[in-house]
Every structure is written in structure tokens, then in C-alpha cells.
Chain A
Amino acid sequence: MNFEKQDIISIHDFSKQELLFILKTAKLMEKKLNPNLLKDKILATLFFEPSTRTRLSFMSAMEQLGGKLMGFATAKMTSIKKGETLWDTIKMVEAYADVIVIRHPLEGSARLAAEASSKPIINAGDGANQHPTQTMLDLYTIQKVKGKLDNLHIGLLGDLKYGRTVHSLVTALSHFNPIFYFIAPQALQMPQTYLDELKEKKIKFFTASNLLKVSKKLDILYVTRIQKERFADPVEYEKYKGVYKLDTSLLPNIKKDLKIMHPLPRVNEIDPSLDATDHAVYFEQAANGIPVRKALLALVLGKV
């Protein structure tokens, strides 16, 4: 399998085999340090919208492989303010860098960037659409903590309506014969189009608003934040923001080997009292961003 010069834009572009190959490469990256693998290669990080962990973890991954960095962390400093098109910005940057990571508030921006650039583009989030490297590190985490990806009972909790990570993860996990449990207040449940897709693929799923009704069945519980910025009406947000607060009172109602994930940042969905339990894997999950992003950088630059 060869990923040289390929773009990483959407989880929809990847087959099961390709995803497994990327996870395998990430595992190699975790086992062996390759401090000179990307020597003399330059990564441009174009963050038109703020992000802490994604940007830092790409930068750290590139540094650990011996590569160099350039870029910006906010659109304020760029010619975008002067009215430059994204196409022109990318055309300029492709002359300076070997690989480009982009986060942009508009949906489809990464796809356009890939069409403009002859250098590989990695999507680090395009509006509410895709964030494929997050999905890949989520898969990597599940594979690592459960020893497999197939036939798992997976609960997704929180904002399932607007949550980009949830939608991509459901798409990716659909390759592995899961049973899904969508746990959310009715107004924030999984959009019908996704449920229809699952039906077409003959994948079993259940919806619930009460976590305790399904918690005993779960192998993985993926918790998401209810995001204030997604609500047009602040009153609506107030209604839902505190609906789920996981704490140690949950412990009698779950499997011993349930693992709790969260893409972070958390607000109050998971009480810190759960952090010390074996169930909490969210910090490990964040750390897994490094081997996965190392693997992707090395793959698209043709170095593994």
C-alpha cells in the first residue's frame, strides 16, 4: 500500500484495509523512534481557526521525526484579511513546504486545498465536516485498549447531532461490524441520514436518552462535549449543557473492562474522579495523536 503524495481529507476516502494499514504504521512509529526520518522535510501548519491539541501534536510529530516547521496559528496575520482566496494561499505555500496541514472554518476547504496543491494536504478540521486524523487516532486507541476493532458494543454520548468527531467515527467503525448505542437527548440525537446509512449497511444500533439503560452492554463509551458554539439560541444550550455528568456513581452499572473515551477538551461531562480508574483512557487517547500523525506524515511523504 502506497500513500506517497496522497491527501488525507475525509474518512470517507479510506477503505478498511487502508485504515488498518495506517494503524499498523502508527504502531511501528510508537515502537521505534525515527529521529531523522523526515530530515530536511518542511511541514506547513495553516490554522485559519484556533486549535491547541491538533496543531501542537502535528508539530510535535514532525519535530520528533526530524522535520522542520512553518505556519501560522490564526488567520489574523495572513493575506486572507486582504481578500486572498484559499486557492492562491495554497498555491503560494506549496512552493515553500513538502506537506501541508490545514484547519479552516469552512466546510470543503481542505478538499479545495488538495486540488490546488501538488504537495500532500492533511485536513485538521474543515468546519463541521471532517477531522480524519482525530478519527484515526480514535480507532488506534480503541484497537490498543480493546486489542481489536471488530464486533464491539460502542456507546456514543453527548452531542450526536452536531458532533463532527462522532459522525466520522461512526463511518469508520462501520467497517468493523459494531453495535452502536446512541445516547443523547432527543434534540441532539444522531441525524437521520446517518441512521439511514447504518440501516443500509445492516449495522445494528439503538438510541436512548438514559445512559443507565444501556451502560452495562458497552465495551467503549465515547463521550463528547455539548458545544456552546453550535447553538444559535443560548437558552437551548443552557437546557442541554449539563445533561450528562459521568462520575463514580456510574461504576456499578458498567462492565469491568469498559473504556471511556473523549476527544477533549471536556467541560463537565466527565468528573475528574473517574480519571484515576482503569476505565479512563482519554489522556492516552490524546497522546495517541502523536504516533498516528507521525505515521500519516511519513506515509504521505513516502518515507515508510
Chain B
Amino acid sequence: MKKEQSVSAIKEGTVIDHIPSNAALKVVDILDLRGIRSIISVATNLTSRTMGKKGIIKIGGKNLTKEEVDKIALIAPDATVNIIKNYDVKEKIKVAIPTTINKIIKCSNPNCITNNEKSMATKFYVIRKRPLKVRCHYCERNMDKEDISLL
């Protein structure tokens, strides 16, 4: 099966599968993979039986933590994360939306201090997971999924 081949193609590291095709590059940004020195392959528009088109990211030599995995839940809620050891899937991590979201999304309220104070980190509380609804720790406004944008 094609999927098996993709996963076994690296010896050590992490494979993130079932990313929506248009979100693969965003996942690279969120996980800050551009600064990593090991081999990273990003594929988009692969054929998927369940999703139609999908993206895959393979990161050699790096095991993602649960916290890092949860970061991508906002844009790839159905992604599966496989930790690879010696060509085998050692662990499968289910992506889950965290209870607080730090730094990665922007408050939609232009009058929020986070959009005005220099180099300030954002923080949100998840008040509903599906569909996603969050509350800004600072201005206390609620945002629905359609208002959420990544920083």
C-alpha cells in the first residue's frame, strides 16, 4: 500500500499523515520546521481514499512531542502522527485540540491589546472543540472557527 511505503521511507523520525492538502505548508510553519537541519519531505496533493487529496510531512531524526502535535490540530484536525523507530511505527499519536492555545493564532478583535502591544504573545482558551470556539485570555472575546487566523 502506498501509505506503508511513505511511512517506512524514513529510519527515525516522525510522519504526519492525513493533512488537508492546502494545510501542509502551514504545518511546516507552525512546527517551525524550516530551522531543522535533518531531512524533511513535504508532499501535497497525494491521492487519498478517505480525503480525496492529502498532504504528508516526513521529518527525519525528530520525534514530535504531544504538545507539538496538538498545535497542528487547529488546521489538520484529522491528521495522524506516526513516530518511527528503525523503519517501524513505534507510536501513533492522535491529534487533539489543546485546552489552551498559545502564540499560534491571532485575536480577531482589532481593539485587543495583543494586536497593539509590540511583540506580545497571544493566549486562548478552548471553550468548544467542534466546531472550534475559543476565548481570548486578554480581551475575553469569543471567536468561532471562521474568525480564527494563524499568526
A107 in complex: contacting residue of B111, B118, B142, CB < 8 Å:
B111
Q: A127-B111, A128-B111 are in contact. Are A107 and B138 (CB under 8 A)?
A: yes
The CA-CA distance from A117 to B71 in the complex, in Å, is 29
Q: Is the beta-carbon distance between B138 and A108 smaller than 8 angstroms?
A: yes
The CA-CA distance from A107 to B138 in the complex, in Å, is 7
Interface residue tally on B, bucketed by range: 10 to 19
- A105 nearest CB neighbor, chain B only: B111
A106 in complex: contacting residue of B111, B140, B141, CB < 8 Å:
B111
Task: Indicate if B82 sits at the interface (CB-CB under 8 A).
Answer: no
Interface size counted on chain A using CB atoms at 8 A: 19
Give B126 Cβ to nearest chain A Cβ, in Å: 16
Task: Indicate if B85 sits at the interface (CB-CB under 8 A).
Answer: no
Task: Indicate if B39 sits at the interface (CB-CB under 8 A).
Answer: no
Chain B residues 95-151 with CB under 8 Å of chain A are 109, 111-114, 116-118, 120, 136-142
The CA-CA distance from A109 to B136 in the complex, in Å, is 12
Give B75 Cβ to nearest chain A Cβ, in Å: 25
The CA-CA distance from A293 to B112 in the complex, in Å, is 26
Task: Indicate if A12 sits at the interface (CB-CB under 8 A).
Answer: yes
Task: Indicate if A111 sits at the interface (CB-CB under 8 A).
Answer: yes
Given contacts A108-B139, A111-B137, A129-B140, 20 further A-B contacts (CB under 8 A): A85-B118, A87-B117, A104-B113, A105-B111, A106-B112, A107-B112, A107-B139, A107-B140, A108-B112, A108-B136, A108-B137, A111-B113, A111-B138, A112-B117, A112-B138, A126-B113, A126-B139, A128-B111, A129-B139, A193-B142
- Enumerate chain A interface residues (CB-CB to B < 8 A): 10, 12, 85-87, 104-109, 111-112, 126-130, 193
Q: Is the beta-carbon distance between B113 and A108 smaller than 8 angstroms?
A: yes
Q: Is the beta-carbon distance between A109 and B113 smaller than 8 angstroms?
A: yes
What 7 A-B pairs come out closest when comparing CB atoms?
A108-B138, A107-B139, A108-B113, A108-B139, A106-B113, A109-B113, A111-B138
- Enumerate chain B interface residues (CB-CB to A < 8 A): 109, 111-114, 116-118, 120, 136-142
List of B residues within 8 angstroms of A193 by Cβ? 142
Give B62 Cβ to nearest chain A Cβ, in Å: 32
What are 8 A-B interface contacts by the 8 Å CB criterion? A12-B140, A87-B120, A106-B117, A108-B112, A108-B113, A127-B111, A129-B141, A193-B142
Give B54 Cβ to nearest chain A Cβ, in Å: 35
List of A residues within 8 angstroms of B109 by Cβ? 107
Q: A127-B111, A128-B111 are in contact. Are A107 and B117 (CB under 8 A)?
A: no
Q: Is the beta-carbon distance between B117 and A85 smaller than 8 angstroms?
A: yes
Give A32 Cβ to nearest chain B Cβ, in Å: 36
The CA-CA distance from A106 to B138 in the complex, in Å, is 10
| Best-surrounded residue of B112, B118, B137, B140 (most CB of chain A within 10 A) | B140
The CA-CA distance from A108 to B33 in the complex, in Å, is 32
Give A128 Cβ to nearest chain B Cβ, in Å: 7
Q: A85-B118, A112-B120 are in contact. Are A130 and B140 (CB under 8 A)?
A: yes
A86 in complex: contacting residue of B112, B117, B140, B141, CB < 8 Å:
B117
Give B136 Cβ to nearest chain A Cβ, in Å: 7
Q: A127-B111, A128-B111 are in contact. Are A106 and B142 (CB under 8 A)?
A: no
- B144 nearest CB neighbor, chain A only: A193
List of B residues within 8 angstroms of A112 by Cβ? 113, 117, 120, 138
| Best-surrounded residue of B114, B116, B136, B138 (most CB of chain A within 10 A) | B138
